[in-house]
Amino acid sequence: MQELVKRASELLADGSVARVLGWKAGDLPYNPEPAYFENEEQLRSFVYNGFCGANLSKYMIEASKMEGKTLVFLKPCDTYSFNQLLKEYRVDREKAWIIGVGCRGKLDIEAVKRSGIKGIESIAEEDGELKIKTLYGDQSISYAEAMLERCHSCKGKEHRVYDELIGESEETGDREQFAGVAEIEAMSPEEKFAYFQKELSKCIRCNACRNVCPACSCRKCVFDSNKFDSAQKANTDSFEEKMFHIIRAFHVAGRCTDCGECSRVCPEGIPLHLFNRKFIKDIDELYGEFRAGEDAETKGPLTDFTFEDAEPGVVAERG
């Protein structure tokens, strides 16, 4: 971490960048927050650890409108989102100084809690384990057990866009990307409906998934409209949530980089990434394998046309 702070201080001092976009310590040891830093004194609160899961690429939409360059720290998976935003002209590459940071997988405090560890006071990383001080004594859990789900199906540790690299990465992918989707595809239609009704009924329409999603970058969202009462969760006992989440999944289809931020920030623990992975899987099968954000030039399969494209009837047959 000190190397990151040192480099950020140098770039601020020589005027190469006007500000730094990174993470600062939160009110608890496991919730660092995205933050801007404008001087060396502010950088004293900078942190980079296993809990810095936030994808900072979306913050570069607003940073691109500011005067001067913004130094942004991006993990390998974040760079896919930045490339996709470049492709959509939502960020300005000339306004960004990108430092690709090493990543050995990011941690999920909920995974720690699910292991039975409670009353957490502090967490330290040591030799592939998390050493946790709690109100009830010292406990530990392996780093891999505590990782975010998305890190188990990691896209790889190669940064797709950067100006310089700092830090080493470790491969963490030990699960097939579409395994969870395949399990749901094997269900009957009634079982699928019951599964998603159960999961999505937890939704409180806080909009955290939408607000954190790099692909949800519209200045005005259809769900902000008061005209059709779509800006709030309906006062009903019916399966209202299906509208919000399924429409959102359609809106990011072909553009979602599977960064997993939607599931990471959901306060109800809804596996929202499964919707997006279903679309990614279908697009791969119908149009050929495609990874959004792998570069900033290739047109997406849903925004381009070729004579080899799947016909609507193919989709109907698969439905």
DSSP string for 40-70 = TTGGGGB--STT----GGGGHHHHTTSSS-E
Give the pTM: 0.91
Collapsing DSSP states into helix, strand and coil, what is residue 211? Answer: helix
pLDDT attached to residue 318: 55
Would you say 261 and 55 are in contact if contact means Cβ atoms under 8 Å apart? yes
101: closest CA among 50, 159, 166? Answer: 166
CA separation for the pair 243, 245 (Å, rounded) = 6
CA separation for the pair 253, 235 (Å, rounded) = 28
pLDDT attached to residue 252: 94
CA separation for the pair 158, 103 (Å, rounded) = 10
CA separation for the pair 147, 43 (Å, rounded) = 27
CA separation for the pair 44, 10 (Å, rounded) = 14
Ordered per-residue pLDDT tens for the chain, 319 residues: 799 999 999 999 999 999 999 999 988 889 999 999 999 999 999 999 999 999 999 999 999 999 999 999 999 999 999 999 999 999 999 999 999 999 999 999 999 999 999 999 999 988 889 999 999 999 999 999 999 999 999 999 999 999 999 999 999 999 999 999 999 999 999 999 899 889 988 888 889 999 999 999 888 887 777 665 555 555 555 566 678 888 899 999 999 999 999 999 999 999 999 999 999 999 999 888 999 999 999 988 888 777 777 776 655 455 4
